[in-house]
């Protein structure tokens, strides 16, 4: 008995007759996972070879057909046990929150090679929200048995802010504030406030649009900045009135 490894396994049954070339044939085998051949190995040994391609048990019946010193049959059984699925490695593709159930691609290997898809099934759980709570359960079948749980991360998404801008502005001093404002429509759930956006006097000011939201499935939204320039007013534009004396 041995455990499935993912490779074809070969076993040999030695038959040692007293003569050099008895006719020995394999007359029955009970699983399609095994192929059988026999050959003359030396002057006094014949071999029946079993090639296992998967887990299972094969019963081989060897029959002597020569009319010489041998008659009847002999039977032998070989078994390859299922490997436990807990021994495999699962590589889960990176994935980002979308609001839908997510099923990232999974590559499963053992220490030898990729595992055939027919040897397991995968179920996904907690696979909507961003974070580290999502996981898969791998259940072995055919050449594997048991289950294995593997957690994976759903990355936070970014809000689409491509249509939201804030532009530089230049105005002439008039004694009033000239606050800047964003252009475009904010994504649902995102709000904006402003810093340094109430200037009145001549100068060059950096105005910051600060975006906030409370959705744990999204990354913070980067701030946007613009420059407000307030230039001096020409004194000639001022009307001076002298009092009557």
pLDDT computed for residue 180 by the predictor: 97
For residue 201, the model assigns a pLDDT of 96
**In whole angstroms, what is the distance from residue 114 CA to residue 9 CA?**
17
For residues 168, 174, 175 and 181, what is the CA-based torsion angle, rounded to 10 degrees? -30
Which of 92, 96, 141 lies closest to 120 in space, CA to CA?
141
Mean pLDDT by 10 residues, the chain (245 residues): 54 44 43 45 43 64 53 67 89 97 94 82 98 97 93 98 97 95 97 97 97 98 98 79 69
Residue 115 has a pLDDT of 85
**pTM above threshold 0.75:** no
Q: Which among 148, 147, 157, 129 has a CA at the least distance from the CA of 220?
A: 157
């Amino acid at each position: 008995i041995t455990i499935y490894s993912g490779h074809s396994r070969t076993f040999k049954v030695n038959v040692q007759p007293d003569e050099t070339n008895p006719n020995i044939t394999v007359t029955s085998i009970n699983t399609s996972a095994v192929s059988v051949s026999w050959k003359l190995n030396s002057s006094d040994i014949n071999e029946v070879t079993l090639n296992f391609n998967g887990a299972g048990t094969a019963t081989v019946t060897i029959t002597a057909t020569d009319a010489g010193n041998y008659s009847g049959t002999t039977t032998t059984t070989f078994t390859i046990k299922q490997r436990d699925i807990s021994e495999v490695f699962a590589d889960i593709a990176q994935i980002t929150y979308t609001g839908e159930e997510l099923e990232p691609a999974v590559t499963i290997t053992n220490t030898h090679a990729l595992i055939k898809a027919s040897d397991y099934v995968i179920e996904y759980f907690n696979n909507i929200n961003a974070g580290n709570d999502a996981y898969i359960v791998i259940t072995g079948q055919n050449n594997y048995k048991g289950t294995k749980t593997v957690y994976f991360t759903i990355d936070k998404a970014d809000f689409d802010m491509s249509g939201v801008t804030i532009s530089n502005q230049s105005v002439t001093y008039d004694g009033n504030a000239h606050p800047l404002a964003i252009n475009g429509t904010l994504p649902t759930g995102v709000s904006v406030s402003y810093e340094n956006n109430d200037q009145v006097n001549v100068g060059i000011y950096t105005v910051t649009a600060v975006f906030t939201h409370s959705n744990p499935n999204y990354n913070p939204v980067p701030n946007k900045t613009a420059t407000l320039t307030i230039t001096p007013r020409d004194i000639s534009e001022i009307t001076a009135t002298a009092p009557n004396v």
